[in-house]
Structure 1
Amino acid sequence: MDAITLLKNDHAEVRTLLGDLEATTSRAVKKRSELVVKIDALLKAHTTIEEEIFYPAFKAAGEKGDDDKMYFEALEEHRAAGELVLPDLLATDVGSEQFSGRAKVLKELIEHHAGEEEKEMFPRAKKLLSREDLNSLGEQLEARKQELLA
């Protein structure tokens, strides 16, 4: 599977889980707990493979200017989600209304980030990288993802 297909599949899976989480009520403590653990694991694996493998390949193939801007913005969005919003959510009582608000903020942030990647970065990557490069990156991404989720 090529890199872009793998990353888009990850986006779809996380969007579904975040939608499921947003649909829960404060009474669904067990379901919320299970979902947030899954979301945490998937987001950490996804951001790691992007930052270790995909983004560096994109940056190396890219041109200065807009490509660099896209690269650094994506990293900052990862930082906002991974170091600020997600840790706050994980530290919040799953039975609280505050949890609902934080889950919604995380969902909106992830949807924005994934949407930008899919509309801007991925089409650009298809122009910058060959089919062979994307397939090779896909294999590397998948192997590293399995390692992280094990």
Structure 2
Amino acid sequence: MNAIELLKQDHENMRALLEELAGTTTRGVKKRKELVEKIRTNLTVHNTIEEEIFYPAFKKAGDGKDDAKMYFEALEEHRAAGDLVLPDLLKTEVDSEKFSGRAKVLKELFEHHADEEEKEMFKRAKTLMSKKALEELGDQLARRKVELKQQAQAA
């Protein structure tokens, strides 16, 4: 599977988890706890493989200011979701309305980020990188993803 297909598949999985979380109520404590843990793991793994492998390859292949701007914007969006909103959500009581609000903000941030990547960065990556390079990147992403999931399960 090429890098773009793998990352889009991750996006769809995250969208489904965030949508399911958004549909829960303050009474769904057990469900919320399960979902937020899945979201934490999947978001952390996804952000890590993009930051370690895909983004540097994109930046290296890039040939101008617009590519660099896309690269840095994507990193900042990861920081906002993964370092600011998600930790707050994890510390929030799952049976509160505050949790609902934070879950909604995380969902909106992620959707904006994924849509931008798919419409701009991935489209640009297809023009900057060969099919072979995208396949090789996909293999690297898949291997690293397995490692990170194993580490998360062991923790």
- Tell me, yes or no, whether TM beats 0.5: yes
For 1:136 and 1:125, the matched residues in 2 are separated by 14
What is the aligned partner in structure 2 of residue 149 from structure 1? 149
What is the aligned partner in structure 2 of residue 20 from structure 1? 20
What is the aligned partner in structure 2 of residue 86 from structure 1? 86
Aligned partner of residue 149 in structure 1, secondary structure: helix
What is the aligned partner in structure 2 of residue 42 from structure 1? 42
Cα displacement string for residues 14-50 of structure 1 (whole angstroms, at most 9, x for unaligned residues):
0000000000000000000000000000000000000
Matches for 1:24-103 after TM superposition, within 5 Å? 24-103=24-103
Runs of 4+ in 1 over 6 A off after TM superposition: none
Percentage identity across paired residues of the two chains = 69
For 1:43 and 1:137, the matched residues in 2 are separated by 19
In the TM superposition, residue 64 of structure 1 has moved relative to its aligned partner by 2.1
- Give the superposed CA RMSD: 0.3
What is the aligned partner in structure 1 of residue 128 from structure 2? 128
For 1:106 and 1:81, the matched residues in 2 are separated by 6
For 1:14 and 1:83, the matched residues in 2 are separated by 17
Amino acid at match of 2:53: I
In the TM superposition, residue 63 of structure 1 has moved relative to its aligned partner by 1.2
In the TM superposition, residue 115 of structure 1 has moved relative to its aligned partner by 0.2
What is the aligned partner in structure 2 of residue 111 from structure 1? 111
Q: What TM-score, normalized by structure 1, do the two folds share?
A: 0.99
Gaps of 5+ in 2: 151-155
